[in-house]
Each structure stands twice: as C-alpha cells, then as structure tokens.
Amino acid sequence: MLDGKRVLLIVGGGIAAYKSLDLIRLVRKAGGAVTPVLTRAAMEFITPLSASALAGQKAYTDLFDLTDEAEMGHIELSRSADMLVVAPATADLAAKMAGGHADDLASTLLMATDTPVLIAPAMNMRMWLHPANQRNMALLEDDGVARVGPSEGEMACGEYGPGRMAEPDEIVDAIVAQLGTGALSGRHVVVTSGPTHEPIDPVRYIANRSSGAQGSAIAAALSGLGANVTFVTGPASVPPPPGVAVVRVETASQMLDAVKAALPADAAVFAAAVADWHVEAESGTKIKKGVANTDLKLSLTENPDILATVSRMRKNRPGLVVGFAAETDDVIGNARAKLKRKKCDWIVANDVSPATGIMGGDENAVTVIDRAGEEAWPRASKEHVARRLAQRIADALS
C-alpha cells in the first residue's frame, strides 16, 4: 500500500504521542519508511530511542545538531520525504505552522517543505474549540494541509468531547489515501451508505434500521487501496471513515442528486438502504393528533431508484456498478432478479431477516452475483467483507 513511500513523522508534545509509536509500526507494516522527528515537548512523553527502534532509523530532535547538518541538512530531510505527517499536532504546533514559525527542527522542516502535509490534531476539547485554534485550522486548510480527526471521546484529562487524536490505523488510511500505491490509486469510486430519512412533517420521518456500518467499511477499504472515495451518506449512526470526501444527505432524492454531482467515477457501490417511498405531501407544520387525525393515512410515492438510474445512464455511467440486495426470503433468486432489473454489474446479496442480526450488526454473510455466476462468502466482520469486496473491485478495474 505504501511501498517505498517515505514518511517524515513529526511527533508533537501531547499525551497522544504514545500512539505515534504504533503509527510508526503500522506505516512500516504497510510498506512505508518512517523518519521520526520529536519536538522537545514530545520527548517528555516518548523517547527518541523508542521511536528510532520502531522506525529502524535515527530519530531527529535538534535543529542545531551539527553532525546531522553535515550528514543531512534539515532542508534535505524534509524534501526527501513523500509526505510530512504531524501526529499528534498539538495546538501550539498547529499555531506555529499557521504562523509560519521556524524556531525548532519540527517547525523548520514544516516551513522548508514542498511535499504534502497531513496533521492529526490532539488537544483538550476547549483548546480544540477555541477560536484561535479554529482560525489556525482554517488557515492550514487554506494552505492545503490535509487533516485527519480529531475524533470525539473521552480524553486523558477526563473531559469528553472533540480533540482526541485519530487512531493510528485511521491516520495510516489517510496517508494511503494521499500517497497510496494501492491497486486503486488514481481511481474515483462513489459509495452510498446509511439509511435515508423521508420527512412526514418538520419533526417526523420514515427511516429504516441501517447503521451505515457496511457502507463505511467499504469506503474505508477502497480508500485503503488508494481510491479517491466520494462517500454519499444518509443519517447513519456509524461515522464516515477518514480520508474520504463526505457528502451528507437526508432523503433519497438528495442522495440521487449528490451521486450525479459526484460522477464521473470508475466505480460506484450502492450500499445505502434507500427508503423506497416518500410522503407525497410533506406537511409544513407538525401534524396534530386531534379528532380529524384519529385514523391518519399517509400517501406514499415511490422514490427514484438511484442504483437503477445510474446503471442506465448513457453518459457518465461508471465502468463498474455494484448494488446490494437486502432480502428476507429467496435471497439469491430475488437478488438475481434485482441484478437484471436494475442493470448493474454486480449485486451483493445479503439476508436481512431479523434472526441473522445482520442489519445494524457487526457481521455480514453475502453472496456476490454477477453475470458469470455467484460467489458465497462466509459470514465475517463487515470490515472483512468490505476488504474482500474492495479487492474484487480493484481486480475488476485492473
């Protein structure tokens, strides 16, 4: 995935620095090389020795280390990398980057580089939300600095909120998405995910039990193989993966518009559990109970079928269109009929009867059907199914 790619990893001084050691391990496992650089504050949390032992290379710490300058100047150190990754990016380090400071090795390397930079911020939630930090994040974004995280969760300081550094595997996914030499690098894939919400009135809607887990896992796996992923998601309970372009929608018709706007693409995977109907006359005001509505009847109209619409496109039809079939009975028969009716290239069939626990659960058992035949995959985690599907897509596009 990162074969031969060189990452210069700048470790800032925060408690999340301990995770950067795992990040070094994972980048190397993906085939990349890591040169660690520790700020003075980072050395309060981890040692240069542990970073260099895991990286298998010298860890740099000081701007004025004359031996280093003789062996490899700081300009060369940053230019020889394919990417600079700052993890954890503390509020202070991000502020230095935004302000263009160069008063230590880390900030000087960041100023001296013309290679892509990715930051993984980590800080207390108040610091994250502080206008000064938000201003700095906006400046960095304008400068073309990519960002992964932070996520929301419990912090080392005991508070709960945004500011936790993204997990090392998410950071690796974000690196791969930018640098990946994966089988799908340079390819654009559109993925739909999650349920849709079809409004009844301003406070009520029709929905379904989809969590978005399978769609998120597919987007992550495709991005892990280096694809540029546009992730069109309804209101799902599982968050989108890092490193993908997220387009949030509510209704089926908004989802169709977003998919059309995302094309052209090399492939499209329609994993969303799109509502089949919307309320014909959505009420602009909250429908009251009252005598008139003891027996409320809603009139429903069919939604556009996004998969069928895209599969039938003359212009801009992706080279490979993959649909899902959520069935409760005669799974294969119904799925095969869907493949024909919707004119997609593959259908991933799954049994969503409540007894399987698949809808909203962590596992999936699917059969992939195409014109040539069918392949039944054993029950496995949704991540595993996603990786196998992403690899099959990569093979088909190669």
Q: Residues 189, 309, 376, CA angle at the centre, nearest 5°?
A: 60
The contact pattern for ligand CTP, residues 336-355, with x = CB under 6 A and - = no contact, is --x-----------------
Of 163, 168, 212, 323, which lies in the binding site for ligand CTP, with binding defined by CB under 6 A?
Answer: 323
- From the list 145-153, 240-248, 270-278, 369-377, the region that binds ligand CTP by CB under 6 A is 270-278
Q: Which two tokens stand for residue 263?
A: 């094309």
359 binds ligand CTP (CB under 6 A): no
Distance CA 224, CA 176 (A): 6
Q: With CB under 6 A, what is the number of residues at the site for ligand CTP?
A: 15
Of 42, 272, 320, 359, which lies in the binding site for ligand CTP, with binding defined by CB under 6 A?
Answer: 272
- From the list 39-47, 171-179, 235-243, 305-313, the region that binds ligand CTP by CB under 6 A is 305-313
366 binds ligand CTP (CB under 6 A): no
140 binds ligand CTP (CB under 6 A): no
324 binds ligand CTP (CB under 6 A): yes
* Candidates 132, 157, 296, 376; catalytic one: 157
306 binds ligand CTP (CB under 6 A): yes
* CA-to-CA separations, 165 to 20, 41, 63, 201, in angstroms, rounded: 10, 17, 26, 39
Q: Which two tokens stand for residue 385?
A: 């199914």
Give residues 224-263 in contact with ligand CTP (rule: CB under 6 A): 252
Distance CA 151, CA 61 (A): 28
Phi and psi of 335, rounded to 5°? -70, -40
Q: Judging by DSSP bridges, how do beta strands 373-376 and 366-370 pair with one another? A: antiparallel
Residue 157 a catalytic site member: yes
297: Cβ contacts below 8 Å, ≥ 6 apart: none
With 0-12 CB in 10 A as exposed, 13-18 as middle and 19+ as buried, what is 213?
A: buried
Which residues lie near ligand CTP (CB under 6 A)?
192, 252, 270, 272, 274, 276, 303, 305-307, 323-326, 338
Active site residues: 157
